[in-house]
Amino acid sequence: MLEFAILGFLADAPLHGYELRRRVAALTGHVRPIADGTLYPTIKRMERADLLRRDVQAGQTAAPRHVLTLSAAGHAELRRQLRTPDELFITDENRWFTLLAFLHHLDDPAAQGAVLHRRLDFLTQPASFFWDGDRPLRADDFPDNPFRRGLFRIATATSRTEIAWLREMLTALTR
């Protein structure tokens, strides 16, 4: 997840770790802040895997900045993950949003459309938060529980908006 976000942001532009941290925090950290102790080991791991290059820039600011640049292998890995994302990236809203933030890096409208289609399929499947055996429960099944009713109301509104957008996008992409 974090690795994916790093690939995405570095594909936008080379950055040093601290700035990367701020951007990742804004994108996902709005929701789930990212710790120092997570970021730097991840960068090291990606460096060892040759996904990125590190150029130390001494001077200027306080501490020497390590400017991170995506390698060719890094670009390839980003495109691979964008083209064939894990199921979690389709179903988990946090991950899906991150995917969407970088989908423009996949320079192939058909492949982009395929990804959007997977999300649309997921959203249009019958689903519920609660079941009675095989019967999906709805808001009306909780007349005395305003919180669960709210849950359904918010989820329905969100998914309607997104489905509408996905249909628009798919029409535009295949035209």
Partner DNA sequence: GACCAATACCTCGCCGTCGAGGTATCACGT
Partner DNA sequence: ACGTGATACCTCGACGGCGAGGTATTGGTC
Sign, CA dihedral 8-9-10-12, equals: positive
For 21, counting Cβ atoms within 10 Å of its Cβ (0-12 exposed, 13-18 middle, 19+ buried), the class is buried
Residue with structure tokens 């102790």?
A: 37
Decide which of its own copies, DNA, none touches 119; Cβ closer than 5 to 8 Å per partner kind. none
- The interface with DNA within residues 61-80 (CB under 7 A) comprises 61-66
Decide which of DNA, its own copies, none touches 66; Cβ closer than 5 to 8 Å per partner kind. DNA
d(CA 134, CA 39): 43
Among 11, 42, 141, 170, binds DNA (CB under 7 A): 42
**Interaction of residue 35 with DNA, rule CB under 7 A:** yes
Decide which of its own copies, DNA, none touches 40; Cβ closer than 5 to 8 Å per partner kind. DNA
**Interaction of residue 90 with DNA, rule CB under 7 A:** no
Decide which of its own copies, DNA, none touches 118; Cβ closer than 5 to 8 Å per partner kind. none
Stretch that binds DNA, among 1-9, 136-144, 146-154, 161-169 (CB under 7 A): 1-9
**Interaction of residue 36 with DNA, rule CB under 7 A:** yes
d(CA 15, CA 66): 8
Phi, psi of 70 (to 5 degrees): -70, 135
**H-only helix segments in the chain:** 2-12, 17-24, 36-48, 72-83, 87-91, 93-102, 109-124, 146-174
Binding region for its own copies (CB under 8 A): 22-23, 26-27, 30-32, 88, 91-94, 97, 100-101, 103-104, 112, 127-131, 145-148, 150-151, 153-155, 157-158, 161-162, 165, 169, 172
